[in-house]
């Protein structure tokens, strides 16, 4: 078992939240909690999972990577 706050234990989530902060939250100022939730949802579901290039799949767009197997 590791120590509290060890970033190596949850490197994937640390990387994701780093991208979220860098690409979304710094550039926008939300007026309410609901607007922030909506912006984060859209970032994850529309951009991050479908359009953003990922280094783990050779900087390919996830949808193109998935379609190469079908």
Q: Does the pLDDT value for residue 1 go beyond 60? A: no
- pLDDT-derived band at 10 (thresholds 50, 70, 90) equals confident
For residues 40 and 24, the answer to whether their CB atoms sit within 8 Å is yes
Q: Does the pLDDT value for residue 7 go beyond 70? A: no
| Tens of pLDDT, residues 17-54 | 888 888 776 656 667 888 888 888 888 888 777 777 77
d(C-alpha 16, C-alpha 48), whole Å: 9
d(C-alpha 43, C-alpha 49), whole Å: 8
């Amino acid at each position: 078992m590791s120590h509290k706050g060890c970033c190596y234990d949850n490197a994937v989530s640390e990387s994701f939240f780093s991208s979220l902060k860098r690409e979304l939250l710094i550039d926008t100022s939300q007026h309410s909690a609901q607007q922030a939730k909506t912006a984060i949802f859209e970032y994850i579901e529309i951009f991050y999972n479908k359009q953003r290039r990922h280094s783990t799949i050779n900087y390919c767009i996830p949808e193109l990577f998935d379609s190469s197997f079908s």
